[in-house]
A and B are shown apart, each in its own frame.
Chain A
Amino acid sequence: MRHTISVLVENKFGVLARISTLFAARGFNIDSLAVGETEDPAISRMTIVVKGDDCILEQVTKQLNKLVDVIKVNEFNDIEYVERGNCLVKVSLSRSNRNEIMHMVEIFRSKIIDISQNFVIVEVTGSEDKISAFIRKVMPYGIKEMCRTGVIALGRGHNIIKVSK
């Protein structure tokens, strides 16, 4: 099963290394990882996606909590939440596929952010599934390059993950 975890950590050097070392040492696999500052610059938020059964999730959560620089760990599957990832895809452009690509961009509500003689860069935002679906669709046209972010997520409405004072 897929789990999205929010980890609030001290914004210090070496913290990312501690977390990736932990995952490596315990044999847990990270599906995706996104890190960024929060509204409080002393705190960073990591959004980690892992696959595994409940036992693995329990160990991951507990091991993360055990790290001294980790302030708070929450799993999103317990609460209502939204998640988004982002992907930039560079596709070969030709007279014959131009219209189809434009059409695809429209269907996926994505954006063209660069266009040149032979290439187009499309930005697609959404859930992991949506991004994967888009990639599958444009694959036949020839993907020259792509890069994809980890998922970020927030709880809906009053579900707020914060450091208690």
Chain B
Amino acid sequence: MVKRTGAQILVESLLKENVEVVFGLPGGQVLPVFDAIYESELNFILVRHEQAASHMADGYARSTGRPGVFIVTSGPGATNIVTGLCNAYMDSVPLVGISGQVATSVIGQDAFQEADITGITRPVTKHNFLVKNVSDLAKTLKEAFYIATTGRPGPVLVDIPIDVQRASCEFAYPNKVDIRSYKPNYNGHPVQIKKAAEAINKSERPVLYIGAGTIVSNAENEIFEISKKASIPVTNTLLAIGAYPLDTSLSLGMLGMHGTFYANKAMQVADVIIAVGARFDDRCTGKVCEFAKKAKKIHIDIDPTAISKIVDADIPVVGDAKTVLKEMIAFIDSKDRKDWLNIIDAWKTEHPLWYNRNDDKLHPQYVVEKISELTKGEAIVVTEVGQHQMWAAQYYRAKNSRLFLSSGGLGTMGFGYPAGIGAKFGNPDKEVIVVAGDGSFQMNMQEMAVAVLNDINVKVVILNNQYLGNVRQWQEMFYSKRYSHTCLAKRKRCQKWCNSPKRDTCPVYVPDFLKWAQSYGASGIRVTEKKDVESALKEMLKTKNSVVLDVWIEMEENVLPMIPAGASLDSIIMRMNG
């Protein structure tokens, strides 16, 4: 057998795993690895901030279903990826992160750029490893990819001290993995599956509540089949947008805090809820003791800890969504459930998603609707976090799974732009549009260098309201309009308290996103009036380069409907002022 250094083993192992692209940034304690990359075929993308590397890997993974990979150095390089790991952990995204570490002989001595990164990341990774011996490296990497991508996926970090990168040993990449303490269960229990089907057959008002797990297990077709066969309306979580087609009458759209009236109402009056790969997040359930009190809950999930964690499951089924649903279909009766669907149709007519389409104001919802129309819902839309994220979720009609990427569980501002770049690396033929807020975008906009230098054609539509808009909305609704530190244009000379912003009298906004884009060699377009939105979007889509479209939207537009945090789904607010 051939001898290889740890660094070479890492690079060759990544190639054996068919890793298309690796994001990262070098540093002192990971130099041997970068030396090995120098002459390798590994497609390495140099970022400007390590956090962005972890989000790029995340965007790549969400959009392709393959694990995202990044390499960073020890200490600050490693601590910068903690947010990215936590973000991926909350949303079950498969990542394999590699960090350099100080030499084993000085670990624990507070050496230069030393951080106990396995200790720091233990609660935010599915698993992590500190490799102390080069002979363990290949096996550890194989296990890392296996753990990240199987069962409920998640991020895995492999920390490699510099002496292990330098040391050499014989190398053969293992073909198989066998971890006796890790055996995810894919097949649902047949008795439970039958019980679930019986409960569905007996129900008059069932609802399918589908989450990201549906997409992870590619169970979209099975969901569609069951819903059609038994006439079951379907609501999706934020992370399952696109998993069920919006243009069928059975679709309820998104549920939860900013979900549709009819999705939330359906949950509250349902007699059976079939949760598939969803985890009853508080943004979906509202006040738990008031949540879907009449419904028997069937919960299908590959992660046993998700079951009965928040809402007691009456019929738990532990297993892979696709495998379980495939078996279940045979036991499910064909039914038309006319009465139930009529009730839902009436709700849809009475309380559709609404914004004022008739005035001349530049409403953000209009911008998203136009994006949806012009791209036919076939573009990958990636969002940052905030109001724009919710408008995108409400109005972008994604045709398929993996076309709407968003930070759900952690709600990470700064996720969207790097994730969009990562998605483009995985889908060079698809249009990638980042819908951003002016606040979020500033958290990782330095990555435009990566987009421009690598000919990564990612479009950014900034729904610019000069505010940290989501927080401002809460201040307006729940803190008597006391806009404490949410205005992004506020200068030293401004009065202390201000809750009446006006574009023409407010200080000039910085940065000028157009000049900023131009300084990277990208294009910038600004739109301040509704009538110009469509033509600007068309121009943006025509451009074969990075574009920033800065749209000056209504500054105090709110995301509605809204269920206040901790309130019951029944206390949904449809309009402001009544």
Known: A66-B303, A71-B180. A59 touches B309 (CB 8 A): yes
A65 at the interface (CB under 8 A from B): yes
Q: Is the Cβ of A59 less than 8 Å from the Cβ of B126?
A: no
Q: How far is the CB of B89 from chain A (nearest CB, A)?
A: 12
- Which of A17-25, A108-116, A136-144 forms part of the interface with chain B? A17-25
Q: Is the Cβ of B180 less than 8 Å from the Cβ of A163?
A: yes
Q: How far is the CB of A88 from chain B (nearest CB, A)?
A: 31
Chain A, Cβ-Cβ closest to B303: A66
- Most chain B beta-carbon contacts within 10 A, residue among A17, A68, A163: A68
Q: Report B-chain residues with C-beta under 8 Å of the C-beta of A21.
A: 122-123
- 8 Å CB contacts to A: which residues of B460-513? none
Q: Report B-chain residues with C-beta under 8 Å of the C-beta of A58.
A: 308
A129 to B473, CA, bound (A): 56
Q: Is the Cβ of B304 less than 8 Å from the Cβ of A69?
A: no
Q: How far is the CB of A34 from chain B (nearest CB, A)?
A: 20
Q: How far is the CB of A7 from chain B (nearest CB, A)?
A: 11
Q: How far is the CB of A24 from chain B (nearest CB, A)?
A: 8
1/0 per residue, CB under 8 A from B, across A56-95: the answer is: 0011001101101111000000000000000000000000
Q: How far is the CB of B460 from chain A (nearest CB, A)?
A: 36
Q: Which of A14, A55, A70 is within 8 Å of B181, CB to CB?
A: A70
Binding site for B on A (CB under 8 A): 9-10, 14, 17-18, 21-22, 25, 55, 58-59, 62-63, 65-66, 68-71, 163
Q: How far is the CB of A118 from chain B (nearest CB, A)?
A: 41
A14 to B157, CA, bound (A): 14
A68 to B128, CA, bound (A): 9
Q: Is the Cβ of A14 less than 8 Å from the Cβ of B127?
A: no
B118 at the interface (CB under 8 A from A): yes
A25 to B305, CA, bound (A): 14
Chain A, Cβ-Cβ closest to B312: A55
A65 to B144, CA, bound (A): 18
B130 at the interface (CB under 8 A from A): yes
Give the size of the chain B interface in residues (CB under 8 angstroms): 18
Q: How far is the CB of A6 from chain B (nearest CB, A)?
A: 15
Q: Is the Cβ of A63 less than 8 Å from the Cβ of B305?
A: yes
Q: Is the Cβ of B127 less than 8 Å from the Cβ of A68?
A: yes
Known: A14-B118, A21-B123. A69 touches B181 (CB 8 A): yes
The 27 sampled A-B contact pairs (Cβ below 8 Å) are A9-B181, A14-B122, A14-B130, A17-B122, A21-B122, A21-B123, A22-B123, A58-B308, A59-B305, A59-B308, A59-B309, A62-B304, A62-B305, A62-B307, A65-B304, A66-B303, A66-B304, A66-B305, A68-B127, A68-B147, A68-B181, A68-B182, A69-B181, A70-B181, A71-B180, A71-B181, A163-B180
A71 to B308, CA, bound (A): 22
Q: How far is the CB of B104 from chain A (nearest CB, A)?
A: 12
Binding site for A on B (CB under 8 A): 118-119, 122-123, 126-127, 130, 147, 179-182, 303-305, 307-309
Q: Is the Cβ of B305 less than 8 Å from the Cβ of A18?
A: no
A78 to B552, CA, bound (A): 64
A21 to B118, CA, bound (A): 12
A21 to B182, CA, bound (A): 19
A66 to B304, CA, bound (A): 8
A58 to B312, CA, bound (A): 12
Q: Is the Cβ of A17 less than 8 Å from the Cβ of B119?
A: yes
Q: Beyond A22-B123, A59-B305, list 20 extra A-B contacts (CB 8 Å).
A: A9-B181, A14-B118, A14-B130, A17-B122, A18-B122, A21-B122, A21-B123, A25-B123, A58-B308, A59-B309, A62-B304, A62-B305, A62-B307, A66-B303, A66-B304, A66-B305, A68-B147, A68-B179, A68-B182, A71-B181
Q: Main SS of chain A's interface residues?
A: helix
Q: How far is the CB of B409 from chain A (nearest CB, A)?
A: 15
Chain B, Cβ-Cβ closest to A71: B181
Q: How far is the CB of A165 from chain B (nearest CB, A)?
A: 9
A50 to B36, CA, bound (A): 49
A70 to B304, CA, bound (A): 15
Q: Is the Cβ of A10 less than 8 Å from the Cβ of B181?
A: yes
Q: Report B-chain residues with C-beta under 8 Å of the C-beta of A70.
A: 181
Chain A, Cβ-Cβ closest to B130: A14
Q: How far is the CB of B419 from chain A (nearest CB, A)?
A: 26
- Most chain A beta-carbon contacts within 10 A, residue among B147, B179, B304: B304
Q: Report B-chain residues with C-beta under 8 Å of the C-beta of A68.
A: 126-127, 147, 179, 181-182
Chain A, Cβ-Cβ closest to B304: A62
5 A-B pairs with least C-beta separation: A71-B181, A68-B127, A62-B305, A62-B304, A68-B182
Q: How far is the CB of B132 from chain A (nearest CB, A)?
A: 9
Q: Report B-chain residues with C-beta under 8 Å of the C-beta of A66.
A: 303-305
Chain B, Cβ-Cβ closest to A165: B180
A69 to B127, CA, bound (A): 9
A62 to B302, CA, bound (A): 12
A14 to B305, CA, bound (A): 22
Q: How far is the CB of A27 from chain B (nearest CB, A)?
A: 12
Q: Report A-chain residues with C-beta under 8 Å of the C-beta of B126.
A: 68
Chain A, Cβ-Cβ closest to B156: A68
A27 to B304, CA, bound (A): 18
Q: How far is the CB of A99 from chain B (nearest CB, A)?
A: 52
A139 to B544, CA, bound (A): 82
A14 to B129, CA, bound (A): 9
Q: How far is the CB of A149 from chain B (nearest CB, A)?
A: 26
Q: Report B-chain residues with C-beta under 8 Å of the C-beta of A9.
A: 181
A107 to B297, CA, bound (A): 55
Q: Report B-chain residues with C-beta under 8 Å of the C-beta of A55.
A: 308
Q: Report A-chain residues with C-beta under 8 Å of the C-beta of B303.
A: 66
Q: Report A-chain residues with C-beta under 8 Å of the C-beta of B119.
A: 17
Q: How far is the CB of B467 from chain A (nearest CB, A)?
A: 33
Chain A, Cβ-Cβ closest to B118: A14
Q: How far is the CB of A100 from chain B (nearest CB, A)?
A: 49
A61 to B232, CA, bound (A): 34
A42 to B219, CA, bound (A): 39
